[in-house]
């Protein structure tokens, strides 16, 4: 048996990057800053998130830099060959299956609707 589940709550680092494909699919990428409970540093851990289709559209419409969100998804790795060196490279990506918009006062001030506990 194997399990690949990632659950995170944090603040979005930049406005969503939305791409529409001819097939009708929608892809959204964004970064998420998450503070570790046991860590003494003020520096957060940063994660790259990938959302697809309806979840991607919701993120594009309601999520902005600084928004507090919760996600549930799985860890995957994007791999490529470096154009200059030919070396194989990879980066971890969180493939989001569930997005929770966790409204707060800060989010309301930036014009984002307060949609506490909404699941998409």
Domain that holds residue 94: 6-119
pLDDT of residue 64: 95
The C-alpha atoms of residue 80 and residue 83 are separated, in whole angstroms, by 9
Which of 80-106 are b and which e, b meaning 16 or more Cβ less than 10 Å from the residue's Cβ?
eeeeeeeeeeeeebbebeebbbbbeee
Q: With bands split at pLDDT 50, 70 and 90, how would you rate the model's confidence at 115?
A: very low
The verdict on residue 113 lying in a domain is yes
Query: What is the pLDDT, as a whole number, of residue 39?
Result: 61
Whether the predicted pLDDT of 65 surpasses 80: yes
Does 14 fall in a domain? yes
Question: What per-residue confidence (pLDDT) applies to 110?
Answer: 46
Q: What is the DSSP secondary structure assignment for residue 24, as one 8-state letter? A: S
d(CA 71, CA 103): 14
Return the percentage of the chain with pLDDT > 70, whole number.
84
Residue 83 lies in a domain: yes
Per DSSP, the three-state class of 21 is coil
pLDDT in tens, 67-112: 999 999 999 999 989 889 989 999 999 999 999 999 755 545 444 4
Q: Does residue 73 lie within any of the structural domains?
A: yes
Which domain CATH number covers 40?
A: 2.40.50.140
Question: Which tokens in the block code for residue 100?
Answer: 């929770």
| Number of domains into which the chain is organized | 1
DSSP string for 39-90:
--SSPPEEEEEEEEHHHHHHHHHH--TT-EEEEEEEEEEEEEE-TTT--EEE
CA distance linking residue 10 with residue 67, whole number of Å: 8
Asked if the structure places residue 1 within a domain, the reply is no
pLDDT digits (tens, 9 = 90+) for 32-43: 999 887 767 778
Mean of the pLDDT values across residues 22-32? Answer: 96
pTM: 0.79
């Amino acid at each position: 048996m194997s399990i690949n589940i990632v659950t995170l709550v944090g603040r979005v680092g930049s406005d969503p990057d939305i791409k529409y494909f001819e097939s009708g699919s929608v892809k959204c990428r964004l970064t998420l800053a998450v503070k570790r409970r046991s860590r003494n540093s003020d520096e957060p851990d940063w994660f790259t998130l990938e959302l697809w289709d309806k979840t991607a559209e919701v993120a594009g419409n309601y999520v902005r830099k600084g928004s507090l969100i919760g996600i549930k998804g799985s860890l995957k790795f994007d791999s490529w060959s470096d154009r200059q060196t030919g070396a194989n490279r990879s980066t971890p990506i969180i493939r989001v299956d569930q997005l929770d918009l966790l409204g707060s006062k800060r989010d309301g001030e930036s014009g984002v609707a307060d949609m506490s506990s909404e699941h998409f």
